[in-house]
Amino acid sequence: MALREIITLPNPVLRRKARKVTDFGKEFQQLVNDMIETMREAPGVGLAAPQIAVSERLIVVEFGDEENEEAPQKLYVVANPEITEASEEMVEGIEGCLSVPGLVGEVERHTSITVKGLNRFGKPTRIKAEGWLARIFQHEMDHLDGILYPDRSDKVWKPAPDEEIPLD
């Protein structure tokens, strides 16, 4: 495994629509491992391949139980993710991004979603996500279409030093 550089605006890779993953071989497995290590080191709760200058439809997300902070974190690796169901209910929340350092913004997201895609071995996977987990998935999936959270926000600001924001 190796740490990869997280690119930031204005790098043009962040604004491209990423290509579908079709090869789940050794190189892809290395990419997944590198993304997990990079996300954890950052530290972040999610990372999309375009954030490390790889224009492929791949995300990694690691998040625990909102109700039980002692519960272990759950790791998700999803290639070619798609939202198949989304709640009508929306909620505003504050987001930060490893590719937009030093800023946060209020973003409205679906409160729950269902995501389908392929796991790291190319097998179908389906994830039902609610709350912050749903927000993280939506944020990461936006990266695959060249969308960054400030594009969805009316209010972006520099947070106070003691303001804790989960970063993707």
Question: Which residue out of 67, 85, 140, 164 is catalytically annotated?
Answer: 140
Verify whether residue 140 is a known catalytic residue.
yes
Instruction: Give the Cα separation of 124 and 150 in Å (integer).
Output: 31
3-state secondary structure the chain: CCCCCCCCCCCHHHHCCCECCCCCCHHHHHHHHHHHHHHHHCCCCEEEHHHHCCCECEEEEEECCCCCCCCCCEEEEEEEEEEEEECCCEEEEEEECCCCCCCEEEEEEECEEEEEEECCCCCEEEEEEEHHHHHHHHHHHHHCCCCCHHHHCCEEECCCCCCCCCEC
Please give the backbone phi and psi of residue 111, each rounded to the nearest 5 degrees, phi first: -75, -25
Q: Where in the sequence numbering do the catalytic residues fall?
A: 140
